[in-house]
Amino acid sequence: MTTAKDLFIITMDPGPEHAVGQGDLSLALAGAELIDLIGAGAVTVDGDRIVPGESPAPDDRLLGEAAAQLTRQPPHERIEDWLWRRGRDLAAAYQAALEEDGELTRKRTGRSPFGSERVEPVDTPGRRRAADRREEKEPVLTALASVVGVDGGRSDDESDLDDEAVTTVVAVVHDAVMELEAVRQRRTIENAAYANLWRGL
């Protein structure tokens, strides 16, 4: 299991006070992939740019896809641009992959056979590992989970992240999630103003 898969699983587990938005989660998953690629030596970070390395990506299909999408020619891609590009619909891709791997299952809510379906983690070694990382407050997973509002929101103390590149990625993920929230709020205000205009208010 990768950091991105662990992150997806803990956001699905019962416990978070509010559902994590797909857009927020997709950005955080892209950040988690980048952090795993840094850890594997497949990329390095130079300022705010992602520089592909010589080491191969870890043996994981989605991480392999992420590595294949890296910009290999200078000027290398900015972390923020990578998050938005790679993050498009990434939560859906991880859900499909985890269902295929048997890590997630679909269950109907309520007694009706026609009730809405929800996706739940299955009790597997992968889920237990993700839960252990969460309980142990593993710094990278905790930081990314906090960015998307799991475990009480973001902590300002990122001193546990002892790698400068990882700290940079987490900070850029946080900024991207805040930017997405600002876009949502702006649309809400614009839609409300438009509705009021039609009501003659």
List, for residues 68-80, the tens digit of each pLDDT value: 999 988 899 999 9
Q: Which residues of the chain have pLDDT under 70?
A: 13-18, 108-116, 152-160, 193-201
Residues 16-47: tens digit of each pLDDT: 455 788 899 999 999 999 999 999 999 999 99
Determine the Cα–Cα distance for residues 116 and 22; give it in Å rounded to an integer: 18
The whole-angstrom separation of Cα 29 and Cα 144 is 8
pLDDT at residue 158 in the model: 52
Question: Looking at residue 56, what is its pLDDT?
Answer: 85
CA diameter of the chain: 63
Average per-residue pLDDT for the chain: 85
Helix H, strand E, coil C: the string for the chain is CCHHHHHHHHHHCCCCCCCCCHHHHHHHHHHHHHHHHHHCCCEEEECCEEEECCCCCCCCHHHHHHHHCCCCCCCCCEHHHHHHHHHCCHHHHHHHHHHHCCCEEEEECCCCCCCCEEEEECCCHHHHHHHHHHHCCCHHHHHHHHHCCCCCCCCCCCCCCCCHHHHHHHHHHHHHHHHHHHHHHHHHHHHHHHHHHHHCC
Distance in angstroms (rounded) separating the CA atoms of residues 110 and 70: 44
User: What distance in Å separates the CA atoms of residue 167 and residue 161, rounded to the nearest whole number?
Assistant: 6
Position 118 scores a pLDDT of: 76
Is 27:135 a contact under the CB 8 Å cutoff? no
